[in-house]
Structure 1
Amino acid sequence: MKDLANVLTSDSFYFLWEQIVQDFEHLNVYRNVLAVVGALYITNKTFQFLYSVAHGIATHGLSRYFSVRLTESGDWAVVTGPTEGIGRAFAIELAKRGMSVLLLGRNPDKLQELSDFIRREYKQQTKILVIDFNDPGKAYEDINDAFEKLDIGVVGLCDIILTSSECGSET
């Protein structure tokens, strides 16, 4: 209390400064702990950022020069919904990377057009399977027959989202 009275009544800045320094010396342990926690947090965030940058470079930059051998797991890729959009781009990219492609869709004309394009541009085998899920039993039977005849390594489902009622399950 005497120190407080001295601080309050003192005109000396030096005395006031010394008192503040003494009070903060007791907080050194807390300051050091917070400094370590802060350093660990910043280190963690730095490594997360560097990992993201490295992953992005590896995924989008180096993959163009060092492609993965997709045919290790099978020579054929199955792509549903390949007639337009992402499905079409997916089928073309797989053919570009050396895979034969089984095209599953509803429109035989568009499937044939894509099949001809892949054969002409990328010299890859293609097969077409026209599927109508209005009769799920027959559709799955046709798909199973096609799968049994081919060495399938990649399956790309680009447009089929089925509910249990569409699959013909009985509840």
Structure 2
Amino acid sequence: MRTLLALAGLALASPAFAQEANNPLDEFTPLLGNCYLASGGIDDGDDRHCWSESEDGTAVLQRHEITGGSLHGYVGEAIYSFNPETGEASYRYRNNRGGKSGGSFTGANGRLTFPDETYRLDENTSVTVDSRFIIAGPHYYSAQERQQIEGEWSEPSIIEFNRIDQD
């Protein structure tokens, strides 16, 4: 399942994102151009997330891959964008096992929040999740996620990501 991140604040600004006031994409700035690893974070596998800015500077791209564990070979991609005319921030996610999701998000003060998202595992199965990313600077962030099961919210799972050298 996809893992999301929330950011805790650095006052860094990418020139492309600096043009818009209150642009939640600014929260991703500490992650851009870097990869992060959660060792054993997903079903005993290693989950590597790499972050980049789109070529035209209007979106953030995230690619992740799990190696080892029961989800070995799982690959997912997300695109985060912001429409300055409507003020809406949105994302789309898909993975190589047929899962997909999308929706809106908010971002401020180093946190990104993805409320009540419907994640489709396949055509017949979906789950509602509530996620947030917390960024504690360019070397660390965490993803927190809880799921709604039979109308009740689960305790949040927390996955910690540390910056790694890119191969």
TM-score range relative to shorter protein = under 0.3
Which has the larger share of strand? 2
Which has the larger share of helix? 1
Higher relative contact order (CA 8 A, sep 6+): 2
